[in-house]
Amino acid sequence: MKPFFNVQSVDQVHGYADRLSPLSPEIINLTQAGGRILARDFTSPTDLPGFKRSTMDGFALGSRDTFGASETSPGYLEIVGEVRMGVEPDFELKRGQCARIGTGGMLPKGADSVLMVEHTRLLDDTTLEVIKSVAPKGNTMGPSDDAYSGETLLKAGHRLKPQDIGLLAALGQLEVHVVKRPVVGIVSTGDEVVPVEQTPRPGQVRNVNTYTLSQQVLFAGGMPREMGLVGDDEKVLTEKVAQSLEECDLTLLSGGSSVGVRDLTAKVFLSFPTAELLVHGVGVSPGKPFIWVATEKGQLLGLPGQVASCVVAFHVFVEPVIERLLGRPVKAFARFPRKIGSLSRPLPSVSGREEYVRVSFVDSNDGPLVEPVFGKSGLLTTLIKGQGLVKVPADSEGMYAGDQVEVMLFP
């Protein structure tokens, strides 16, 4: 059995990701753009809302006509009209005049504010009693309060949220320039791994990694393409990976990445033209046997077969590659919310290896306690009971009970 050679750090692996070029842009319909990555900065083509608008139901007026007005000393204004929603008022207010206006209505000329209906009393059809003053611009929004023409509102590389889509709608953008989603081929291998629909015989397990990986790819912004489950057969495995190389930007192969005699991943990957071995073995746990072979046609990434290791290795190594292809900075756990807590017990660690410890949160009188979820990397439920991961850096010899730690929560 040959040892891993040239074990590399997470930073070194991310350095290879940095060398990749982002995928090209494509134009898609606004309704499909949520969660996609903007390919170029978006600058506002116009002012928004573009006109002076009321933010309350009430009366458009000149604020100076309300100064000093109160319950005990009211003022009186003449009602000269009503602003129709969606229509530019065709009248102008003079001193002492006001007009009815609804929330969102356009202020007529001569009005600088809106007095809420609650602060008025109607004496007759044309006379308004004013019982409170309003400041200039009160209860209004200005023509460029939401955005001004030429303002950079969204940056290239930004992942579009529902509110961004709303903003693009407000600015008339039915089409959006986004980065193409990387197509990620997923191959799983292992003689003992059987399809989900099959009842495993003793010694067999169902195929988990194809399913977790394809969902992880989807969540990360890629397009998973399931290439199938293959036994430990070099010829068939080579055919599957070749097909994936033709069709996909990235190929993930789970299982067979370690150093066992049946572990074929490295051999298969290196059989392709222009293949260059970038990584085989990393100073990270779990995820130690990670493999990266670069070819001119695409990137081949080998992930550990152990179900929990495979999930963590995806986040540490694969998602940053997807981020880069999407034109975003190379960063692991970018989508993970963070939460601080104090460790309930010590976390021993092997110095020289970056560790990702599965943890859960337990409430205590002193605030949230971070409880390690111990268990082997082949145990899937450690990731179900664990709500997140704590990173123990490579140069640390461990952490003490009571230490404040940052938990990266599974999104």
Alpha-carbon span 252 to 100, nearest angstrom: 64
SS3 117: helix
Nearest to 49 by CA among 104, 100, 92: 104
What is the per-residue binding string for ligand LQZAQKY5 in 351-390, x denoting contact by CB under 6 A?
Answer: --------------------------xx------------
In order, the DSSP letters of 59-109 are: EEE-GGGGTT--SSS-EEEEEEEEPPTTS----B--TTEEEEE-TTPBPPB
> 97 vs 309, which CB is nearer to ligand LQZAQKY5?
309
Minimal CB distance residue for ligand LQZAQKY5:
305
Sheet bearing 97-101, strands edge to edge: 113-116, 58-61, 97-101, 75-82, 127-130, 120-124
Closer residue to ligand LQZAQKY5 in complex, CB, 62/304 = 304
The yes or no reply on residue 257 touching ligand MOO (CB under 6 A) is no
Instruction: Report 36-75 residues binding ligand LQZAQKY5 (CB under 6 A).
Output: none
Give yes or no for residue 97 binding ligand MOO (CB under 6 A).
no
Among 305, 320, 327, 386, binds ligand LQZAQKY5 (CB under 6 A): 305
Per-residue contact string for residues 380-409; x = within reach of ligand MOO by CB under 6 A: ------------------------------
Considering only CA atoms, give the Rg of the chain: 31
Contact partners, residue 270, CB within 8 Å, separation at least 6: 277, 293
Residue 260 C-alpha from the chain's centroid: 37
Give ∠ CA 13-15-20 in degrees, rounded to 5.
105
By CB under 6 A, name the one of 54, 133, 207, 216 that touches ligand LQZAQKY5: 207
**259 is a contact residue toward ligand LQZAQKY5 (CB under 6 A):** yes
Q: Which residues make Cβ contacts (< 8 Å) with residue 263, sequence separation at least 6?
A: 256, 257, 289
Residue with structure tokens 């898609």? 28
Written as six digits, the tokens of 229 are 């489950």
Instruction: Tell me whether residue 287 or residue 372 sits nearer to ligand LQZAQKY5 (CB atom).
Output: 287
Binding partner at 401 among ligand MOO, ligand LQZAQKY5, none, C-beta below 5 to 8 Å by kind:
none
| Residue 142 touching ligand LQZAQKY5 (CB under 6 A) | no
Instruction: Catalog residues that contact ligand LQZAQKY5 under the rule CB under 6 A.
Output: 188, 190, 192-193, 205, 207-210, 254-260, 263, 286, 288-289, 304-307, 309, 377-378
Instruction: Catalog residues that contact ligand MOO under the rule CB under 6 A.
Output: 285-288, 304, 306, 309, 377
